[in-house]
Amino acid sequence: MNNPFPNQKAMLHSQKQRTLFEEAKSYASEYLDDVLDRNVFPTENALENLNFFDEAIPDIPGDPAEMLRILHEYGSPATVASTGGRYFGMVIGSAFPPVMAAKWLATVWDQISALHVTSPISSKLESVCEKWLIDLLGLPENSVAGFVSGTSMATMCGLAAARYELLNRAGWDVINNGLFGAPPIRVVLGAEAHSTVYKALAMLGLGKERVETVPIDSQGRMIAEAVPNLDNNTLLILQAGNVNSGSFDPFDEICEKANQANAWVHIDGAFGLWAAASNQTKHFTYGIEKADSWSVDGHKTLNTPYDSGVILCKHAHALVSAMQATGAYILYGEHRDGMLYTPEMSARGRAIEIWATLKILGKSGVEELVNVLCTRAQQFAIEISAAGFQVLNDIDFNQVVVACPNPEQTTAILDHLQKSGECWCGAGNWHNTPVIRISVCSWATTAEDITRSVQAFIIAKRECSD
């Protein structure tokens, strides 16, 4: 039988090894050269060619160069061009090329960020990013950060910390005793809380159907006057960036009420929390510092590569207790050990890309990024309205909600758009009406991209009417 590793040292230092990386670089450069002009969604031919991968596992080692060639030839055309300028679906950001280069280097490092002893560089950059994010978002200085896959996991971490702390106040040790027999926790949230919040509640045993929902206004903002009386057994979940409209709950007023009752406040800020980094939008986030925990994505508004989420928590002990893991082989030390703040042990060094992004942008660059995304969203709303479409939301941030006179037409036009490949927008249901969700999240989106995409709407409308 052939040995795929005849001489490991020679393999690592051989010219052939270097050639493989050069080939990968060439393929990646070719992809980036075309991504701004190609179809946003793969063509039918590209999707059909994915059948090439349907084969039995090879019996013998294969040629590495051939493997890379196949991956580029059949894989690259079947990707969604979300790093380009005309992808507006699912609040997905792009990635800055210099940061992608940093990710390449970090991928070769292949670090496990669980402990300082498994990766001192990951430990250091997590510490630096923690300080930078707290400063950038205006959060309490004693807050801590955990670097996870995305807001879904960050939200679960924040709610787990809340569960621990609320039950601890009631004299119940949820870590050792579980939830059987535990005092009940009240969960209060807005009527349009994100689905990932409900998922986290279900996974944590707090229940999706036991929640108390607070009425919202026409833009999806929680009505402060409708928040029920709270107590120190309450988990209150607020939202920075409604999934449809992009609206923000009135944090200052609601958090003040929660603080007086000693309730725990978690803010789901997947894409909207970054509004705090801009003087033009930070008024939407006034009062967020009064919350107890916050979840946010890097791979949305900040435009870091996937996957990148952050849990921030004012109470380090609560988060660490909720995420705790022990074992004789787990060597905690005096330096930062990342797994104290996350559920994962086998986690890559996500903070490397956040550090790289913040390093090249700085505070002013992040502010400009937020402002540009908002400007492009406003341009989209103006031009799409002028083309005869209905814009249903106030353009507070980067979201535009579009509809046609009847639901059937909205659905048909969206289907046409998605298949055309000219631009890609997501579907939604808002106020019991099918809508087209436009999320402007990419630094690469230009004013010309917006106009070109609006033209695609016009063409889709005309062809759907024929």
SS3 332: coil
Give me the DSSP letters along 139-203: --TT-EEEEESSHHHHHHHHHHHHHHHHHHHTT--HHHH-STTPPP-EEEEETT--HHHHHHHHH
Amino acid at 318: A
Q: Which tens digit of pLDDT belongs to each residue from 322-375?
A: 998 888 788 888 999 999 999 999 999 999 999 999 999 999 999 999 999 999
How long, in residues, is the chain?
466
Name the 3-class secondary structure at 239: strand
Confidence of residue 17 (pLDDT cuts 50, 70, 90): confident
For 102-358, which CATH class? alpha beta
Q: Is the pTM of this model over 0.85?
A: yes
pLDDT in tens, 270-283: 999 999 999 999 99
Domain spans of the chain? Answer: 102-358
Beta strands 87-88 and 144-148, pairing class = unpaired
Helix (H, G, I), strand (E, B) or coil at 402: strand
Q: Assess contact for 301 and 370: CB atoms under 8 A.
A: yes
The answer to whether 146 and 321 have CB atoms below 8 angstroms apart is: no
What distance in Å separates the CA atoms of residue 386 and residue 365, rounded to the nearest whole number?
31
| pLDDT, tens only, 153-206 | 999 999 999 999 999 999 999 999 999 999 999 999 999 999 999 999 999 999
Q: How far apart are CA 378 and CA 383, in angstroms?
A: 9
DSSP 304-370: PPSS-EEEEES-HHHHHHHT----TT----SS--GGGGSS-SS---THHHHHHHHHHHHHHHHHHHH
